[in-house]
């Protein structure tokens, strides 16, 4: 124990004597550990944000999307065909689902298109969603100015629009947009209201949208089909029967592979699977820089053994056993890697906290433990070879080395 | 070592008594360094036996050899071989660290030894802040610190001017007077004469 402590002191002294070299060597591990922690934090932050958003939708919500979508939990997390296939949903489907579904509370058709909105010389390109009058209830998002469109405006395909907060600000600034006429894809639309802010996810502004009735959207963008349906079941318990009902009704007019019905639970597990895979992949890429850092340590340790050949010879001559020499060099490389790891953890942690001000990032305990463990392992693995080389040196030859 | 099939030393029969001061003289390539390495447990003979304090040391494990070097041999080299960027005191302490002597005791003994070598004022100097003679005195202090059975000095004056060299020789003589056993290896017959007994070696044989 006494000897181990002495070796630790010795290692610290040697590393301090070569400050620049030691810190540059550590830098590799620092960068590796910092990026592992940062990327894992961002991945986990993103996951919990999106999961939270989906949970906001409510647990009794179903989505009907075009194309076939595999929901197998054992799948790789990809979405084969989803969104790729051309939608074949019409407003008749919506009416049919609404009328015949016993377990269905309401059905909302949905379209989305990009369009240019213009008002008084100002132009803004944004996403225009075709929705039904139930949208504010389903998304739990109210109009702060004016109102959302009502059922009669929807049925008669009136050219009315409700703006997201960002769109309203871009086009109108501080002016009240309610009642104003704007140009949307070459037609005049009346602004009915402005929705409350929902916030941004990273660079993706959720308030940068405009909403028009679905029939209006089909007219304006000259489409025959809607993109998707959001189906609300009457209760949580009725989600499964509602799902079966939707399938049964749609199968009368559509083929099996032309649509998929997804519940929020399935969507949640799919999203968390995709983001989980993404996080692991990101951590893996960052892990490569850790590996490079480890190789850097090995390189420097080999140089150090070479440089100190004479010193090693002398230590052996005055009684250092191969084991002591081995421990001495091994501890040096472990101090380098663990030191780098600890600094990396501090940087990764504070970096994540900083990033969290702008973008969801959650520091996970497992990423810190993993990063620390990996840096210890790196110190040992990449230190063993140089240390063994030092321990094996023949004292006579080592003493003669110039 | 190089795997030469030609033996470097042949028919060596040598006994060094306790408290004897002998010198081994020979030209370079004569085998005197190899003889010293064998005596100092840095090398093992291909055949034959060597005893140190009645222990057969000719075929020991590396661990055991290291331990014996630590406890029974004190090396003094031509090039001093002090550890750079390490104080004189820490250099002298080193064998005691490997012997497992606790910190306090180590410092005290090393300090006393350096004082005995007339270096009481220089204990915290680094080797590059010391003159050649001073460095060699630190090295001698290091060789003595563990009370070895044998002090092996390999050309200890080779890197020193004649005046400083003479001082080092005086120290070796005094070591013998204090009861130590000293083996001096040199190519210089004049230097060798200081010892009680001279062993001449040529072509691997004692002549």
Average pLDDT over residues A147-172: 91
Q: Are residues A99 and A41 in the same domain?
A: no
Q: Are residues A294 and A229 in the same domain?
A: no
- What are the pLDDT digits (tens) for A352-395? 999 998 888 999 898 899 889 999 999 999 999 999 999 999 99
Mean pLDDT of the residues in chain B? 92
Spell out where B3-115 has E strands.
21-25, 51-52, 55-56, 73-76
Asked which of A198-212, A226-240, B89-103, B116-130 is least confident by mean pLDDT, the reply is A198-212
Question: Is there a domain that residue A387 lies in?
Answer: yes
Question: Is there a domain that residue A106 lies in?
Answer: yes
- What are the pLDDT digits (tens) for A207-231? 889 999 999 999 999 888 888 898 8
Q: Are residues A191 and A308 in the same domain?
A: no
pLDDT-derived band at A52 (thresholds 50, 70, 90) equals confident
Crossing angle of helices A19-56 and A365-392, in 10° steps, is 150
Report the gap between the CA of A17 and the closest CA in chain B (Å): 8
Cβ–Cβ contact A266 with B under 8 A:
no
**Which residues from chain B sit within 8 angstroms of residue A394, using beta carbons?**
1
**Which residues from chain B sit within 8 angstroms of residue A313, using beta carbons?**
81
Asked if the model's pLDDT at residue B95 lies above 60, the reply is: yes
Q: How far apart are CA B8 and CA B43, in angstroms?
A: 12
Question: Is there a domain that residue A245 lies in?
Answer: yes
Cβ–Cβ contact A402 with B under 8 A:
no
DSSP bridge partners of A140 = none
DSSP bridge partners of A131 = A213
Q: What is the pLDDT of residue A14?
A: 85
Q: How far apart are CA B198 and CA B201, in angstroms?
A: 10
Among A253, A286, A320, identify where a domain stops: A253
**Which residues from chain B sit within 8 angstroms of residue A324, using beta carbons?**
66, 98
Average pLDDT over residues A197-206: 64
Q: Are residues A25 and A101 in the same domain?
A: no
Q: Three-state DSSP class for A370?
A: helix
**Which residues from chain B sit within 8 angstroms of residue A317, using beta carbons?**
40, 42, 69, 75, 81
Q: How far apart are CA A268 and CA A33, in angstroms?
A: 30
Q: How far apart are CA B160 and CA A171, in angstroms?
A: 90
Q: In this predicted model, which residue has the larger pLDDT, A170 or A59? A: A170
pLDDT-derived band at A8 (thresholds 50, 70, 90) equals confident
Asked if the model's pLDDT at residue B4 lies above 80, the reply is: no
Cβ–Cβ contact A392 with B under 8 A:
no
pLDDT-derived band at A238 (thresholds 50, 70, 90) equals confident
Q: How far apart are CA A200 and CA A208, in angstroms?
A: 9
| Structure tokens, A291 | 């590996």
Asked if the model's pLDDT at residue A17 lies above 90, the reply is: no
Q: What is the pLDDT of residue A78?
A: 43
Judged by CB atoms within 8 Å, which residues 15-34 of A form the interface with B?
17
Asked which of A86-90, A97-101, A188-192 is least confident by mean pLDDT, the reply is A86-90
| Beta carbons within 8 Å of A238's beta carbon, 6+ residues apart | A60, A103
The CA distances from residue A29 to A35, A36, A41, A364, B199, in Å, are: 10, 10, 18, 19, 58
Question: Is there a domain that residue A156 lies in?
Answer: yes
Other CB atoms within 10 A of residue A166 CB: 19
Asked which of A12-16, A196-200, A365-369 is least confident by mean pLDDT, the reply is A196-200
pLDDT-derived band at A4 (thresholds 50, 70, 90) equals confident
Q: Are residues A104 and A168 in the same domain?
A: yes
Q: Are residues A129 and A249 in the same domain?
A: yes
Q: How far apart are CA A346 and CA B93, in angstroms?
A: 38
Domains of chain B: 21-206 (3.40.50.300)
Q: Choose the mutation target among A5, A18, A318 for the interface with B, i.e. most B CBs under 10 Å.
A: A318
**ipTM of this complex:** 0.93
Question: Is there a domain that residue A392 lies in?
Answer: yes
Print the domain residue range for A166: 89-253
Question: Is there a domain that residue A65 lies in?
Answer: no
Q: How far apart are CA A394 and CA A400, in angstroms?
A: 10
Q: How many CA atoms lie within 13 A of B31 on its CB side?
A: 19
The torsion angles phi and psi of A96, rounded to 5 degrees, stand at -65, -45
Rounded CA Rg of chain A:
32
pLDDT-derived band at B148 (thresholds 50, 70, 90) equals very high
Q: Are residues A116 and A148 in the same domain?
A: yes
Q: Are residues A31 and A130 in the same domain?
A: no
Among A220, A253, A286, identify where a domain stops: A253
Give one DSSP letter per residue of B92-114, joined into a string.
HHHHHHHHT--HHHHHHHHHHHH
Cβ–Cβ contact A324 with B under 8 A:
yes
Asked if the model's pLDDT at residue A2 lies above 70, the reply is: no
- Find the helix or strand (DSSP H, E) in which B91 lies: helix B88-99
CB contact under 8 A, A317 and B75: yes
Q: In this predicted model, which residue has the larger pLDDT, B113 or A273? A: B113
Mean pLDDT of the residues in chain A? 86
pTM comes to 0.72
Q: Are residues A311 and A242 in the same domain?
A: no
Q: What is the pLDDT of residue A240?
A: 86
Tell me which residues of chain B have a C-beta less than 8 Å from any C-beta of chain A. Answer: 1, 37, 40, 42-43, 62-63, 66-67, 69-71, 75, 77, 81, 83-86, 94-95, 97-100, 102, 142, 146
Average pLDDT over residues A303-320: 94
Q: How far apart are CA A85 and CA A146, in angstroms?
A: 37
Give one DSSP letter per residue of A185-246, joined into a string.
TTEEEEEEEEEPP--EETTEETT-EEEEEHHHHHHHTT-SSBSEEEEEESSGGGHHHHHHHH
Average pLDDT over residues B72-80: 95
Q: What is the pLDDT of residue A360?
A: 87
Q: Are residues A229 and A108 in the same domain?
A: yes
Q: How far apart are CA A154 and CA B99, in angstroms?
A: 93
* A345-353 contacts at long range (C-beta below 8 A, 24 or more positions apart): A345/A33, A345/A37, A345/A371, A345/A372, A347/A30, A347/A33, A347/A34, A348/A33, A348/A34, A348/A35, A348/A36, A348/A37, A348/A38, A348/A41, A349/A37, A351/A34, A351/A37, A351/A38, A352/A37, A352/A38, A352/A41, A352/A42, A352/A45
Question: Is there a domain that residue A83 lies in?
Answer: no
Q: What is the pLDDT of residue A92?
A: 86
Average pLDDT over residues B153-166: 93
Q: What is the pLDDT of residue A344?
A: 95
- Among the listed residues A218, A230, A66, the one whose alpha carbon sits nearest the alpha carbon of residue A137: A230
Q: Are residues A195 and A161 in the same domain?
A: yes
Query: How many domains are there within chain A?
Result: 2
Closest-CA residue of A relative to B64 is A321
Q: Are residues A116 and A198 in the same domain?
A: yes
pLDDT-derived band at A75 (thresholds 50, 70, 90) equals very low
Asked if the model's pLDDT at residue A76 lies above 80, the reply is: no
Q: Cα dihedral sign for B108, B114, B118, B124?
A: negative
The torsion angles phi and psi of A113, rounded to 5 degrees, stand at -145, 155
Question: Is there a domain that residue A59 lies in?
Answer: no
pLDDT-derived band at A346 (thresholds 50, 70, 90) equals very high
Closest-CA residue of A relative to B66 is A319
Asked if the model's pLDDT at residue B58 lies above 60, the reply is: yes
Q: How many CA atoms lie within 13 A of A27 on its CB side?
A: 8
Measured in whole angstroms, how far is the alpha carbon of residue A311 from the centre of its chain?
52
């Amino acid at each position: 124990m006494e000897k181990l402590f002495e070796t630790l002191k010795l290692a610290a002294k040697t590393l301090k004597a070569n400050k620049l070299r030691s810190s540059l060597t550590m830098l590799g591990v620092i960068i590796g550990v910092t990026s592992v922690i940062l990327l894992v934090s961002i991945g986990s932050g993103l996951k919990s944000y999106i999961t939270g958003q989906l949970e906001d939708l409510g647990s009794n919500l179903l989505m009907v999307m075009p194309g076939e979508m595999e929901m197998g939990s054992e799948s790789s997390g990809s979405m084969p065909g989803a969104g790729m296939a051309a939608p074949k949903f019409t407003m008749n489907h919506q009416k049919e689902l609404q009328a015949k579904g016993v377990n269905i509370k309401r059905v909302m058709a949905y379209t989305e298109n990009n369009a240019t909105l213009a008002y008084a010389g100002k132009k803004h390109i944004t996403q225009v969603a075709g929705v039904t009058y139930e949208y504010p209830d389903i998304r739990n998002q109210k109009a702060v100015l004016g109102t959302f469109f009502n059922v009669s405006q929807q049925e008669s395909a009136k050219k009315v629009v409700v703006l997201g907060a960002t769109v309203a600000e871009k086009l109108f600034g501080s002016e009240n947009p309610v009642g104003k006429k704007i140009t949307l894809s070459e037609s005049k639309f009346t602004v009915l209201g402005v929705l409350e802010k929902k916030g941004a996810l990273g660079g993706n502004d959720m308030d940068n949208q405009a909403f028009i009735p679905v029939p209006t959207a089909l007219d304006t963008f000259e489409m025959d089909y809607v993109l998707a349906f959001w189906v609300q079941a009457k209760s949580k318990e009725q989600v499964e029967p509602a799902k079966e009902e939707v399938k049964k009704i749609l199968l009368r007019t559509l083929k099996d592979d032309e649509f998929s019905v997804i519940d929020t639970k399935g969507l949640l597990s799919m999203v968390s699977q995709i983001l989980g895979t993404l996080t692991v992949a990101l951590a893996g890429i960052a892990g490569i820089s850790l590996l490079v850092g480890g190789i850097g340590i090995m390189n420097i340790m080999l140089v150090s053994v070479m440089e100190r050949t004479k010193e090693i010879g002398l230590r052996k001559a005055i009684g250092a056993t191969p084991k002591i020499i081995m421990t001495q060099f091994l501890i040096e490389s472990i101090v380098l890697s663990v030191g780098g790891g600890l600094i990396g953890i501090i940087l990764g942690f504070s970096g994540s906290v900083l990033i969290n001000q702008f973008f969801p990032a959650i520091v996970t305990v497992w990423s810190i433990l993993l990063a620390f463990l990996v840096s210890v392992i790196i110190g040992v693995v990449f230190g063993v070879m140089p240390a063994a080389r030092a321990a094996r040196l023949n004292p006579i030859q080592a003493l003669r080395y110039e | 070592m190089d795997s030469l099939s030609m033996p470097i030393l042949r028919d060596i029969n040598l006994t060094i008594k306790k408290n004897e001061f002998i010198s081994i003289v020979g030209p370079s390539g004569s085998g005197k360094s190899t003889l010293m390495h064998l005596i100092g447990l840095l090398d093992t003979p291909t055949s034959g036996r060597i005893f140190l304090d009645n222990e057969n040391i000719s075929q020991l494990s590396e661990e055991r050899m290291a331990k014996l070097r630590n406890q029974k041999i004190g090396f003094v080299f031509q090039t001093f071989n002090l550890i750079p960027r390490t104080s004189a005191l820490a250099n002298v302490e080193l064998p005691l660290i490997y012997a497992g002597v606790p910190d306090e005791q180590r410092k005290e003994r090393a300090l006393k030894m350096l004082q005995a070598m007339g270096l009481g004022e220089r204990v915290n100097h680094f080797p590059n802040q010391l003159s050649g003679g001073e460095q060699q005195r630190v090295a001698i202090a290091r060789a003595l610190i563990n009370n070895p059975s044998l002090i092996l000095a390999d050309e200890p004056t080779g890197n020193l001017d004649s005046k400083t060299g003479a001082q080092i020789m005086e120290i070796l003589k005094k070591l013998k007077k204090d009861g130590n056993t000293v083996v001096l290896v040199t190519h210089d017959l004049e230097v060798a004469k200081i010892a009680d007994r001279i062993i001449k070696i040529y072509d691997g044989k004692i002549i």
